[in-house]
Amino acid sequence: MSYLFSSESVSEGHPDKVADQISDAILDQFLAYDPKAHCAVESFVTTGQVVIMGEVHSNAYIDLQAMARKAIKRIGYSKAEYQFDYNSCGILTAIHEQSGDINQGVSREKEEEQGAGDQGMMFGYASNETDNYMPATLDLSHLIMYTLAQIRKEGKVMTYLRPDAKSQVTMEYNEQNEPVRIDTIVVSTQHDPFVEPKDDSRKAQKEADEQMLAKIREDVINILIPRVKEAAGDKLRRLFDNSLANAAETEANASERERKLMHDGIKYYVNPTGKFVIGGPHGDTGLTGRKIIVDTYGGRGAHGGGAFSGKDPSKVDRSAAYAARYIAKNMVAAGVADEMLVQLAYAIGVAEPVSVYVNTYGRSHVSLSDSEIARKVKDLFDLRPKAIEDTLNLRQPIYFETAAYGHMGRQCQKVKKTFESLYHEKKTMEVELFTWEKLDQVERIRKAFGL
């Protein structure tokens, strides 16, 4: 029997994502000037205020306030009327030295014997339901948010947009766990109060709100979604086509209320509360690490609970999660299975993982059990923390770009980044982003599995 499944994403202006980006901007600055830096930086944002907390061990001195303001400006909080802007917000810092008890378990004379920075389990997941081996619901949710941000930054249409936004996508899956069509799209976007009420009455305010909502809904359907479809890969675009092809049947089975929300076979909920002017850190507090499902697989697969942003790669919460994704993606691309979950688990201070687990959900294409596949994974990949850092080149300042629109399913690419500091020389570096998305192990895996 078919079923519905949903995933959400949030924009770079969402308060939790603002906090993530501040933390990763600071981490990047440390790594640019000290590649061996150990960082665990948390950020908290609210009305007119940023608090930066955590532990750092580094030879570099960083202007934390400058990094935070630069990140906030880049996101788009640049107006005092938002009641949170890069130029005037207060910034409190509470950074101290990393615990020596932890450091003695991580640092080793031989770098390759570096211990895990903490205990815990990390998951990686991949599915062939999209071109980038991500769950279709999350992939589309991210694309909606990214495209909306591009429209906002261009400033040509939908000029009322403000930085905070959320999306959610519900899809119908068949009995083979394959996405069939898009059922529902939810878009909530912060906006200027671009329609003024005629007077101070509640009726006039309601009429103004209804006019704004009608305009935003119209623009989401006629401006945002066509751009999303154009940017989508073939597999996602096909889901839009399937929804349109089945529109008559879907509408016939919908309630009267649902039919009013439908367009081309898809139900659209746009700003369901009716108004979204107050948003960002003024509308809700933000904290690093509160969007870990958005960061990973949108509820598909599993999550070990550890956040990513602000942590250097000695923290396996981050590096081992990237390694697990790297393994799962290459395994699915190699044809070992249509879908795969990989779990890695570590003990603090110990280099080798204490366990490697694989689940192919009964969708394997090799005559091996999942436990046998897991043993092969352990033979194929060096999963010690230092080996992961080296394989994926994780000691680069590459993390600000991960802190919005998901850490997984992104495009691996080389870019030049420039870092400036009052305390160090200006540096321009070529770095490689999202190295864990490379498909450079496919042939090796095929050979190992006889595919």
Fold of the domain built from segment(s) 120-126+315-449: GMP Synthetase; Chain A, domain 3 (3.30.300)
Structure tokens at 346: 């570590």
276 annotated binding-site participant:
yes
Gyration radius from the chain CA atoms: 23
165 annotated binding-site participant:
yes
Of the chain, the percentage scoring pLDDT greater than 70 comes to 96
- pLDDT on residue 258: 84
- Cβ(147)–Cβ(228) under 8 Å? yes
98 annotated binding-site participant:
yes
Which sequence spans correspond to the domains of the chain?
3-10+136-279, 120-126+315-449
- pLDDT on residue 110: 62
258 annotated binding-site participant:
no
Q: Compute the mean pLDDT over every residue in the chain, rounded to the nearest whole number.
A: 93
206 annotated binding-site participant:
no
pLDDT in tens, 370-396: 999 999 999 999 999 999 999 999 999
- Rounded to an integer, what distance in angstroms lies between the CA atom of residue 182 and that of residue 171? 4
166 annotated binding-site participant:
yes
The residue-averaged pLDDT of 164-176 equals 96
Confidence of residue 424 (pLDDT cuts 50, 70, 90): confident
How many CB atoms are closer than 10 A to CB 36? 15
Is the pLDDT reported for residue 209 higher than 70?
yes
Strand ranges (E), 211-354: 262-263, 266-270, 286-287, 339-346
191 annotated binding-site participant:
no
| Residues paired with residue 44 on neighbouring β-strands, in sequence order | 51, 287
pTM of the model: 0.94
Q: Name the residue with higher pLDDT: 15 or 101.
A: 15
Q: Name the CATH architecture for the domain at 3-10+136-279.
A: 2-Layer Sandwich (3.30)
- pLDDT on residue 97: 75
pLDDT in tens, 94-150: 998 765 555 555 555 566 667 677 788 999 999 999 999 999 999 999 999 999 999
How many CB atoms are closer than 10 A to CB 290? 18
The residue-averaged pLDDT of 210-225 equals 96
Q: Do domains 3-10+136-279 and 120-126+315-449 have the same CATH topology?
A: yes
Of the chain, the percentage scoring pLDDT greater than 90 comes to 84
414 annotated binding-site participant:
no
